[in-house]
Structure 1
């Protein structure tokens, strides 16, 4: 693994991207987006995760996170493990028209990697980038919050419910974050 894509300082804030295997558009459904939100809330309240920014797109999630317990890699691993397992269970147990196709994609991905059991939901890469300057932080915030605008879903970043742009605009939001 390239050193540029590893977390060197476990206590520093990082820009991260979590991608669904094969870019499956899982988060087009509310039930799966809510699992991600609930897991971020849990990590924030129980694991010392500081959440500065996030956006949930149809097949990936962008965040700016920091771990107050100097264990960002551990928090990421637990977040991805829990959300992946919980989303797979929801696909299996809830009405889902794409059930067979999605489960086969996740099963096939798991067969390609010995670290997986039956299914692999997330890719193993997170592309962590340590945030080192005010200008770079602003660039990443703007990129995260503009994602739904670039996708053509909303006109303004704060109009998208599954984004921390709402927190910064003092709009009703889905969860508390740590304002930067």
Structure 2
């Protein structure tokens, strides 16, 4: 999605969704799913992001978050830039690899339920 998010309260809690290009189901593959989890963990540990909840769907992500001491637009931009640039370099698609549905809710503790 190429829309600019508007964060009026820099300390507010926000819900956003963003999708893959052409809504392609990329998060059904383990490598893409794990890459998104790693990117969210990086933002949580290094960018001051508090994640209250997220849901990774086959072609998009829902995120409920808050940013401490930084501009939320900058952090989301960095998250999306990182995930799009590492998609090709870190994940190889093999035609014989089984797919899994990557739809789950994960609490802020990032433990799978």
TM-score range, shorter chain: 0.7 to 0.9
Deviation, structure 1 residue 38:
0.4
Unpaired runs of 5+ in structure 2?
Answer: 96-100
RMSD: 2.7
CA contact (8 A) 1:161 1:173 kept: no
Partner of 2:98: none
The answer to which structure, 1 or 2, has the higher relative contact order (CA under 8 A, 6+ apart) is: 2
Give the ranges of 4+ consecutive aligned residues of structure 1 lying more than 3 Å apart after TM superposition: none
Q: Deviations over 1:102-143 (max 9, x none)?
A: xxxxxxxxxxxxxxxxxxxxxxxxxxxxxxxxxxxxxxxxxx
Aligned-pair CA distance for 1:86: 0.8
Paired position in structure 2 for 1:96: 94
What does residue range 169-180 of structure 1 map to in structure 2 within 5 Å?
A: 173-174=111-112
8 A contact 2:26–2:58 mirrored in 1: yes
Whose helix proportion is higher, 1 or 2? 1
Is 2:48 the counterpart of 1:48?
A: yes
Higher strand share: 2
Cα separation, 2, equivalents of 1:59 and 1:95: 16
SS in structure 2 of the partner of residue 15 of structure 1: strand
Structure 1 spans left out of the alignment, 5+ residues: 98-152, 154-159, 175-180
Q: 2: CA distance between counterparts of 1:33 and 1:58?
A: 9
How much has 1:34 moved relative to structure 2?
0.5
Q: Is the 8 A contact 2:35 2:83 kept in 1?
A: yes
Displacement of 1:18:
1.1
CA contact (8 A) 2:10 2:71 kept: yes
Partner residue of 1:26? 26
Q: Partner of 2:74 in structure 1?
A: 74
In structure 2, the CA distance between the partners of 1:7 and 1:69, relative to structure 1 (3 Å rule), is: same
Q: Kindly tell me the number of residue pairs found equivalent between the two proteins.
A: 105
TM normalised by structure 2 equals 0.80
* Cα distance in 1, alignment partners of residues 85 and 27 from structure 2: 15
Pair member with larger Rg: 1
